[in-house]
Amino acid sequence: MSTPAPNPAQASRAAARRRGRYGAPALLLAPFMVLFTACTLVPIGYAVHLSLYTEHRSGLGFGGSETVFTGLGNYTRALGDAAFRAGFWNTAQYCLLYIPLMIGLSLLTALLLDSALARAKRFFQLALFLPHAVPGIIAALVWVYLYTPGISPVIDALGGAGAQVDVLGHPLSAVVNIAVWEWTGYNMVIFYAALQAIPREVLEAAVVDGAGPLRTALSVKIPLIRASITMVGLFTVIGSLQLFTEPMILHDVAPGVVSTWTPNMYAYSAAFERNDYGLAAASSVLLALAAAVLSFAVTRASRGRSRKEDAA
């Protein structure tokens, strides 16, 4: 500032402003950072700490227990447990089936809505989105009823048509269907919003070049909303690893869904059925690590692809 001689009042106000420059942001950030530290960073640190210890019960288990450092012992125990590995295998199969199916359906419905031929767009968007308003546990409850022969109008109708369907005997498809139902509309809205943001000139240019609707969708629209597809992919991967509520409900009715069917259920049963906190903490940390690795892979893969296209 080129004010010749600042009077004292102005100077002190300027000083207060300067203090405000750091004071105000610190004050505004503090509540979130405190909560974030307490509910995210500290639990992660505590889980890592706990995962390195194990409880040794003395003799008959009466003399109390002592906590012993075991290094990576809990991790090798978790990884050495066939049930834990089976949980990851179930999750992998679930991802391979669910992610392409759900993203494919969301993209398809978004492209259909985005086409000039669709009518009642607001109604369709809302109707497809509504499952998101249903808590996961209620979605699972309702679908279990709809899977149960005798109660379900769908299974009965199929049975009447001569098709005997045993959904509860196929836990993987049963869980995938619930997840597809819950998330397709939600992600469709994201894709639809991204499609609407594509500049009209680009689409007109494609039409002028003689591209039909299918060609425009595949070669113009989908590449242009790649950022959204990556983001949805990322959140879907993180969400898939957390799979718990739906299989937990199916656990009661489908014999194929054991209490350690997903890594998350394994951690839960380690903590609450076996009281093995070290093992529970180690499996939670492994789960978080798997999420980190997969997230990294998803972002890396999409970034690599876009860089290649930039170079071309």
Partner 1 sequence: MSKTAVNGALVLATVYTLLPLGWLVTASAKNTGDLLVGRTLTPERFHLGQNLHDLATTGDGIYFRWYLNSLLYAGLGAVLCAFVCVCAGYAFHVYRFPGKEQLFGLVLLGVLVPTTALALPMYLLASELHVVNTFWAVFVPSLVNPFGVYLARVFCAGYVPGEVLEAARMDGAGELRTFWSIGLKMVMPGFVTVFLFQFTAIWNNFFLPLVMLSDNRLFPVSLGLYAWNTQTHAFPEYYPLVVTGSLLAVLPLVIAFVVLQRHWKAGLTAGSVK
For partner 1, the binding residues in 243-262 under the rule CB under 8 A are: 244-245, 249, 252
Per CB under 8 A, which region of 82-90, 190-198, 203-211, 301-309 contacts partner 1? 190-198
Could you tell me which residues come within 8 angstroms of residue 99 by beta carbon, excluding any fewer than 6 positions away? 233, 236, 237, 240
> Considering the rule CB under 8 A, would residue 154 count as an interface residue with partner 1?
yes
> Considering the rule CB under 8 A, would residue 136 count as an interface residue with partner 1?
yes
> Considering the rule CB under 8 A, would residue 46 count as an interface residue with partner 1?
yes
Q: What is the 3-state secondary structure (H, E, C) of 83-96?
A: HHHHHHHHHHHHHH
**Quick one: 245 or 302, whose CB is closer to partner 1?**
245
> Considering the rule CB under 8 A, would residue 264 count as an interface residue with partner 1?
yes
> Considering the rule CB under 8 A, would residue 9 count as an interface residue with partner 1?
no
> Considering the rule CB under 8 A, would residue 295 count as an interface residue with partner 1?
yes
> Considering the rule CB under 8 A, would residue 150 count as an interface residue with partner 1?
yes
Q: Which of 52, 79, 146, 222 binds partner 1 (CB under 8 A)?
A: 146
**Quick one: 59 or 201, whose CB is closer to partner 1?**
201
Q: Which of 92, 96, 207, 227 binds partner 1 (CB under 8 A)?
A: 227
Whole-angstrom CA distances from 181 to 143, 177, 188 are 10, 6, 12
Q: Which of 53, 203, 291, 306 binds partner 1 (CB under 8 A)?
A: 291
**Quick one: 167 or 280, whose CB is closer to partner 1?**
280
Strand bridging mode 53-57 / 65-69: antiparallel
> Considering the rule CB under 8 A, would residue 153 count as an interface residue with partner 1?
yes
> Considering the rule CB under 8 A, would residue 32 count as an interface residue with partner 1?
yes
Nearest partner of 286 among 91, 78, 59, 20, judged by Cα: 78
> Considering the rule CB under 8 A, would residue 137 count as an interface residue with partner 1?
yes
Nearest partner of 220 among 232, 236, 208, judged by Cα: 208
**Quick one: 25 or 169, whose CB is closer to partner 1?**
25
Q: Which of 167, 168, 179, 185 binds partner 1 (CB under 8 A)?
A: 185
> Considering the rule CB under 8 A, would residue 190 count as an interface residue with partner 1?
yes
Compute φ and ψ for 67, nearest 5 degrees.
-95, 125
Q: Which of 70, 109, 216, 260 binds partner 1 (CB under 8 A)?
A: 109
**Quick one: 40 or 60, whose CB is closer to partner 1?**
40
Could you tell me which residues come within 8 angstroms of residue 308 by beta carbon, excluding any fewer than 6 positions away? none
Both tokens of 128, joined, read 């497809």
255-282 CB burial, b ≥16 within 10 A, e <16: eebbebbbbbbbbbbbbeeeebbbbbbb
> Considering the rule CB under 8 A, would residue 152 count as an interface residue with partner 1?
yes
Report angle CA 156, 161, 162 to the nearest 5 degrees. 95
* Alpha-carbon span 45 to 51, nearest angstrom: 10
Rounded to a whole number of angstroms, the minimum distance from the CB of residue 59 to partner 1 is 25
Q: Which of 102, 254, 257, 281 binds partner 1 (CB under 8 A)?
A: 281
Report angle CA 116, 119, 120 to the nearest 5 degrees. 140
> Considering the rule CB under 8 A, would residue 232 count as an interface residue with partner 1?
yes
> Considering the rule CB under 8 A, would residue 47 count as an interface residue with partner 1?
yes
* Alpha-carbon span 200 to 202, nearest angstrom: 5
Rounded to a whole number of angstroms, the minimum distance from the CB of residue 273 to partner 1 is 13
